[in-house]
Structures are given as structure tokens and as C-alpha cells.
Amino acid sequence: MRLARLHEPGEIAVDEVDEPSMRPGSVRIDIEYCGVCGSDLHEFEHGPAPLRAEDRGHVIPESEWSDHLPMPMGHEIVGTVTEVGEGVDRIAVGDRITPCLILPCDDCRYCADGDYHRCERITGPVATPGFADEIVVPASTAVVVPDDVPSRHAALTEPLSVSLHGIRQGGLAAGETVAVFGAGTIGLGVVGAAVAAGAKEVVVSEPRAARREAAEAMGADAVVDPTERDPISFVRDRTDGGADLTVEAVGKEPTLTQSVRSAAYGGTVVVLGVFTEEASIHPNDVMQAERTVVGSFAFRGGHQRDRGEFPAVLKLLSDGRLDPEPILSDVLPLAEVDTAFDRLRDPESDAVKILIEP
Ligand SMILES: [Zn+2]
Ligand SMILES: [Zn+2]
């Protein structure tokens, strides 16, 4: 079968490999779509990255790349089960599923508490071989897609779960104001989730025109181009002096500063972007304003799979409260996976989420 792998930063190629072998407790999926994630793009540009910065510094050094390359990528998967392994009874051949790829160790304090996404030895979704014809995953990860959710929307379950988790970490209440910095897939998902959660006003700062338009289509009440106007004063003007909740969905120092300073006094700042480099804020902006800064990583998974964000997102997609269509820019065949990456890293491109269709 075909499997796309990163051979070195900037070079992804479709290789012919053996079909993955079946294991007890697993299911084989005929992949219908696999979305290109911001984390895939990050590794495409910078090389293999550790999940947590504190484990190995902020990047895996070039001298160790040979341990990781060629590296499969692609974890935003939807497809149909074609084979179930020994001992699998909750999933059947023919089920359309999306795998929730938080694979916990089941042995650390966080796993004991059911906080599997905080697991000290978490594996997945990094290096998941999803840009492929098929994949074998543990049946325990499988979440069944409702019949009325089209596969191209179900392929967004994973990134939308990241967005929804961010809103939950920020403790958004109905009637509150929200400012989102960055309208990539995750930021746009935050806009949709905030609107679905009953936010009073959602303001988005984003330099690319196409993404500002997508933010409006997702329900944003106001958008600002931060290269044209100071986004902090824009957010303050729109939200009576500061947003109740701000979300950093870029992973850069300027947007971190903007997220902190445009939050209301007593408001909450969610750090949702993935940072390549360290970034600093002035602690007095937190101290004197009594703001709360919270992190948000992935989504509830592992044995919480059926009680976490995945089923919540699928329900929102199913009943139409969340329409991800503005996020979807294109569907490309597996043979053109390199084009997808080139388009996503081109700052002039209109692309947001590209799905790969094997
Ligand atoms: Zn992803
Ligand atoms: Zn654990």
C-alpha cells in the first residue's frame, strides 16, 4: 500500500510499503480522508519534534533525526473498518470511525486520575501513519461517526476537539466575550465552538484576508487585520475594555502578548498555539490585572474517549450547531500530499485545512 513519510524536513514522499499487520484488539481502517494538521506542518518544516518541550528541549537535535526519519505522518483520520482483531466486540466491520489517538501508559498518576491527555508517557498522535491507504489502530481509540455527519466533516473531529478543549479549559460561560488570535484550523474551530457555547461577542485577529473571511463565516462578530490596526485596542473597543476569554492559537510571542493584554482584568487567557521558541510576557500584566493564564493540550482521550470532546464535536456536527465547511479549503489525492504541505506553508496561500484522500 501507499504511505507518505517525511524523509527530511521539507521533503515528504509517497512510499510503497507492506500493509500493516493485524494485531489482537485492533481494527483495520480503509482511510477515506486524513487532514493535514498544523503539527504535521510544524514537523515538515522543523524536523521531528518532541511532544513536550521540557522532555528534550524544544526540538529533537538534527543528530538524532535518523532515529525518527523517514517518519510517517497524518492523524486526522476517518474511514471504514474492514477487519477487526481478536477480542474486539465494540466495533464491527463496516463501521465508519475516527480514531481518538491519545494512547496513554495507564500507569502514571494522570492516567490513574483519568486525565489521559496529561499522561507522562503519552504516545500518539505524533508519527501516526495516516497519509496512507489503510491503517491498523487499537480498537479502544475508535469513535463511531454518526450517519448524518459527512466524512469530510468527520475528518475534522480531531482538530475541532482541540478547539473545544481550549474553550473548556478557559471555562467560557454563555454571554461572555471572546477574542481569538490566529484563524488557522484551531482558531477557526475555537470561533465555532465559542459561538455554539453561546458567546456574546467573538472577535478575531488574523493577518490573512481569506482566514478573516473564514472566521466571519464561522460566526465571528468582528475581525481585525493586526498589520493594519492594533488588535489589543480593537478587542478592547469591541468588548467593553477587554474580552472575558482570549485564546492564543498561533504560537508566537506577539500574539501571546496580545492575548494577555486584550483580556479583561480578571479574565482568562488560553495558551493553545504550539510554540517553536520561548516567548515572554510581562508578569505584571497577569499580576495587576488578576488574569488567569491556562494551557490547553489536545483533548480528553484514552478511556475517556466516549466522554471527551470527540463525541461532543460529532454531536455538534450532527445537529448543525457547528458547521466546519469554511475551514475546509481543499481535498487532494495522496499522490499530491507534497503540494498540500507547500500550499500550507506559503504565506500568500488561502489554504486552511487540506484533506488528503487516498
Ligand atoms: Zn491534528
Ligand atoms: Zn500515563
Last residue of a domain, one of 278, 295, 312: 295
Question: What is the 8-class DSSP label of residue 146?
Answer: P
Q: What is the mean pLDDT of the chain?
A: 94
Q: Which ligand is nearest to the CA of 302?
A: 2
Domain hosting 213: range is 171-295
Q: Is residue 203 part of a domain?
A: yes
Centroid of ligand 1 to alpha carbon of 298 (angstroms): 8
Among residues of the chain, what percentage have pLDDT more than 90? Answer: 84
Give me the pLDDT at residue 347, please.
84
Mean pLDDT over 31-59 rounds to 83
Whether residues 280 and 316 fall in one domain: no
Q: How far is CA 245 from CA 155, 212, 242, 248, 252, in A?
A: 27, 19, 9, 10, 18
Whether residues 6 and 130 fall in one domain: yes
Whether residues 289 and 304 fall in one domain: no
In this predicted model, what pLDDT tens digit does every residue of 328-337 receive, in sequence order? 999 999 999 9
Place of cell 507534497: 338
Whether residues 55 and 197 fall in one domain: no
Using the CB atoms, write b or e for 188-202: b if 16+ within 10 Å.
bbbbbbbbbbebebb
- 315: cell is 454531536
Whether residues 285 and 305 fall in one domain: no
Whether residues 208 and 237 fall in one domain: yes
Whether residues 286 and 305 fall in one domain: no
Centroid of ligand 2 to alpha carbon of 106 (angstroms): 5
Number of domains in the chain: 2
Q: Which ligand is nearest to the CA of 119?
A: 2
Question: What is the 8-class DSSP label of residue 123?
Answer: B
In this predicted model, what pLDDT tens digit does every residue of 212-243 receive, in sequence order? 999 999 999 999 999 999 999 999 999 999 99
Q: Which ligand is nearest to the CA of 104?
A: 2
- Band (76; pLDDT cuts 50, 70, 90): very high
Which residues keep their CB under 5 angstroms from ion ligand 2? 104-105, 108, 111, 119
Whether residues 68 and 90 fall in one domain: yes
Q: Is 193 helix (H, G, I), strand (E, B) or coil?
A: helix
Centroid of ligand 2 to alpha carbon of 256 (angstroms): 29
Whether residues 327 and 232 fall in one domain: no
Give me the pLDDT at residue 126, please.
64
Mean pLDDT over 107-125 rounds to 88
Whether residues 100 and 141 fall in one domain: yes
Centroid of ligand 2 to alpha carbon of 146 (angstroms): 30
Q: Is residue 163 part of a domain?
A: no
Q: Which ligand is nearest to the CA of 113?
A: 2
Q: Is residue 166 part of a domain?
A: no
Mean pLDDT over 134-145 rounds to 96
Q: Are strands 134-138 and 26-35 parallel, antiparallel or unpaired?
A: antiparallel
Mean pLDDT over 149-154 rounds to 98
* CB-CB contact of 183 with 206 (8 Å): yes
* Of 282 and 122, the one with more pLDDT: 282
Whether residues 153 and 217 fall in one domain: no
Is pLDDT of 58 > 70?
Answer: no
Is pLDDT of 5 > 80?
Answer: yes
Whether residues 77 and 225 fall in one domain: no
